[in-house]
């Protein structure tokens, strides 16, 4: 697949933390408009890959292309085309939902009525518009995550990166958030990379990349869901200890 036909292309990417090899010749491509589940247990290298995709640090080898833009050579357009939700929440708890949205809009250079229109539309997309006046501290974990996703969508990205966005949420809230992001991809054509260590967050029709100990062990259409996917993961990795739940 060429970078033109893909929402996200990762080609031959390697990275070390000191002597520790975190990513080893990682390659995969997320088709435009697809949800790609990046499935791997703790330490697989998912967060390292997100750091590289968002330009926080550079790969030793390889290329990362977001919506047709190479993050190393065209950092600004690549980031302009990308929304990111990191594993650690980055909301200001003492500001309202609305103020958090406008603050972030400002970081993207959005101002005035344009910023307000985009903030309102993004909150509506995530069914968060009625909470605009509430302080973030008063929101539950699921609503905080939805706010972070709404915030990541304000600049109309073509690509959405989510690094284990359900960490700390209970099972029903995880399921609701997973469904909501899938609906978003279906309705808007945005390409989604969803990192998780939980097989129950992978849905039929997802593109699936299994990452294990820094290597891609398989890539393609999701072959199964639920317990059958856990069995598939064990068969691919041959690892009984690092199985995702």
Ligand X SMILES: Nc1ncnc2c1ncn2[C@@H]1O[C@H](COP(=O)(O)OP(=O)(O)OP(=O)(O)O)[C@@H](O)[C@H]1O
- Count residues near ligand X (CB under 6 A): 13
Distance in Å, CB of 201 to ligand X, minimum: 13
DSSP state of 129: G
Distance in Å, CB of 174 to ligand X, minimum: 15
Question: Which strand ranges, in their side-by-side order, compose the sheet holding 159-163?
Answer: 82-85, 159-163, 191-196, 35-39, 207-212, 215-221
Contact code string over 206-235 relative to ligand X, x by CB under 6 A: ------------------------------
Interface with ligand X by CB under 6 A: which range of 40-48, 52-60, 110-118, 184-192? 40-48
40 binds ligand X, rule: CB under 6 A: yes
* Residue number with CB closer to ligand X (48 or 237): 48
Interface with ligand X by CB under 6 A: which range of 44-52, 132-140, 184-192, 215-223? 44-52
Distance in Å, CB of 56 to ligand X, minimum: 10
- Beta strand extents in 139-198 (DSSP E only): 159-163, 191-196
Distance between CA atoms of 136 and 93, rounded to whole angstroms? 5
Q: Which residues contact 77 (CB under 8 A, 6 or more apart)?
A: 69
Under a CB-based contact definition with an 8 Å cutoff, are residues 95 and 136 in contact? yes
Distance in Å, CB of 17 to ligand X, minimum: 3
* Residue number with CB closer to ligand X (118 or 197): 197
User: In terms of Cα–Cα distance, which of 218, 173, 220, 239 is closest to 200?
Assistant: 173
Under a CB-based contact definition with an 8 Å cutoff, are residues 197 and 8 in contact? no
Distance in Å, CB of 11 to ligand X, minimum: 18
Structure tokens of 160? 């959405």
* Residue number with CB closer to ligand X (40 or 83): 40
Interface with ligand X by CB under 6 A: which range of 41-49, 73-81, 127-135, 202-210? 41-49
Structure tokens of 221? 């259409």
Distance in Å, CB of 26 to ligand X, minimum: 11
Structure tokens of 148? 């972070």
Distance between CA atoms of 133 and 41, rounded to whole angstroms? 38
Interactions with ligand X, residue window 88-147 (CB under 6 A) = none
Structure tokens of 205? 């029709």
Q: What are the residues binding ligand X (CB under 6 A)?
A: 17, 20, 22, 40, 42-48, 164, 197
């Amino acid at each position: 697949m060429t970078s033109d036909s893909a929402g996200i292309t990762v080609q031959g990417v390697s990275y070390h933390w000191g002597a520790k090899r975190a990513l080893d010749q990682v390659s995969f491509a997320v088709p435009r408009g697809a949800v790609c589940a990046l499935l791997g247990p703790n330490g697989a290298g998912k967060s390292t890959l997100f750091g590289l995709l968002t330009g926080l640090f550079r790969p030793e080898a390889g290329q990362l292309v977001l919506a047709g833009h190479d993050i190393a050579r065209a950092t600004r357009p690549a980031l302009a085309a990308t929304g990111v939700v990191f594993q650690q929440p980055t909301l200001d708890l003492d500001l309202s939902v609305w103020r958090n949205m406008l603050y972030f809009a400002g970081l993207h250079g959005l101002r005035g009525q344009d910023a307000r229109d985009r903030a309102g539309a993004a909150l509506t997309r995530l069914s968060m518009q009625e909470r605009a006046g509430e302080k973030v501290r008063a929101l539950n974990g699921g609503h905080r995550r939805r706010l972070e996703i709404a915030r990541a969508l304000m600049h109309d990205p073509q690509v959405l990166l989510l690094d284990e966005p359900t960490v700390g949420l209970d099972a029903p809230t995880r399921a609701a958030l997973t469904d909501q992001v899938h609906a978003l991809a279906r309705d808007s054509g945005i390409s989604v990379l969803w990192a998780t260590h939980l097989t129950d967050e992978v849905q039929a029709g997802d593109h699936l990349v299994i990452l294990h100990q820094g290597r891609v062990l398989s890539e393609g259409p999701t072959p199964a869901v639920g317990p059958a996917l856990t069995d598939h993961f064990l068969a691919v990795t041959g690892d009984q200890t690092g199985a995702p739940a």
